[in-house]
Amino acid sequence: MSNARDRVVIKLSGSLFDLDSIVDTITPYASMLREMSSIMQPIIIAGGGDEARRYIDAARALGADESSLDEIGIEISRLNATLLVYAIGLDLAYPSIPRNLEEVSIASATGRIVVAGGLHPGQSTNATSALIAERVNAKLFINATDVEGIYTADPRMHREARLLKRVSTKELLSMLGRERFDAGTYELMDIVALKIIERSKIPTRVVKADPKIIKDAIHGYDVGTEIVVGE
């Protein structure tokens, strides 16, 4: 395997790691990543999901401070990442979960499929994924989430919401500023993630978490929402 393949950073929504169905859910992702790794190097970030939220809620009720709660979320996302490493297989996946950007660089230099969880307290996995995409000089950053892409409003609450095929970082930042997104949609891309995408001009797409759609995004098809840098 060559070490010079283009790198594609893929954030996998924490919702895929629901423990009740995790084996059936992540196996097709692992197969797709194995297949795609012959043409590019996947760098994956696993989200924390409901399990993280449940641990965080319990620790908050027990009086833990916010940065400690973030660390719990990070630990759970790392456990999710570990399961994905096993699903991919140790012949192609880097065997340990990087804990900071330097470790991400070291892992990526091997040319293997790298799977990370969260890195630092105070960030979402979306912001962390953008930072990782910046660090590894990704050709593409795919945010695979539980909706089809970025909508004009939260599609789960507003039936008139329209999917945006293309939206600029500037428009998204001003939408976030005007709080036109409520919680669910806001999380698709937060301000930190957008600022990183903007400063390093990272080609970015928000798509539905589905192995086939992610594959289409890797092949350059116009799926989900394309985020363009600038106006």
Binding site for ligand UTP (CB under 6 A): 13-15, 47-49, 52, 69-70, 73-74, 77, 118-125, 128, 145, 187
Q: Output 11 or 112, the one with its CB closest to ligand UTP.
A: 11
User: Looking at beta carbons, which residue is closest to ligand UTP?
Assistant: 47
CA distances from 197 to 13, 29, 54 (A): 18, 25, 30
Between CA 92 and CA 111 the distance in angstroms is: 9
Closest approach of ligand UTP to the CB of residue 171, in Å: 20
Among 225, 213, 222, smallest CA distance to 36 is for 213
| DSSP states along 51-86 | HHHHHHHHHHHTT--HHHHHHHHHHHHHHHHHHHHH
Q: Output 6 or 66, the one with its CB closest to ligand UTP.
A: 66
Among 173, 175, 163, smallest CA distance to 206 is for 163
Cβ neighbours of residue 83 closer than 8 Å, sequence gap 6 or more: 17, 22, 26
Q: Output 91 or 179, the one with its CB closest to ligand UTP.
A: 179
Closest approach of ligand UTP to the CB of residue 176, in Å: 15
Two tokens, residue 225: 């929402």
Q: Output 92 or 106, the one with its CB closest to ligand UTP.
A: 106
Strands 140-145 and 114-116: unpaired
Q: Output 69 or 87, the one with its CB closest to ligand UTP.
A: 69
Closest approach of ligand UTP to the CB of residue 5, in Å: 25
Closest approach of ligand UTP to the CB of residue 4, in Å: 28
Closest approach of ligand UTP to the CB of residue 201, in Å: 22
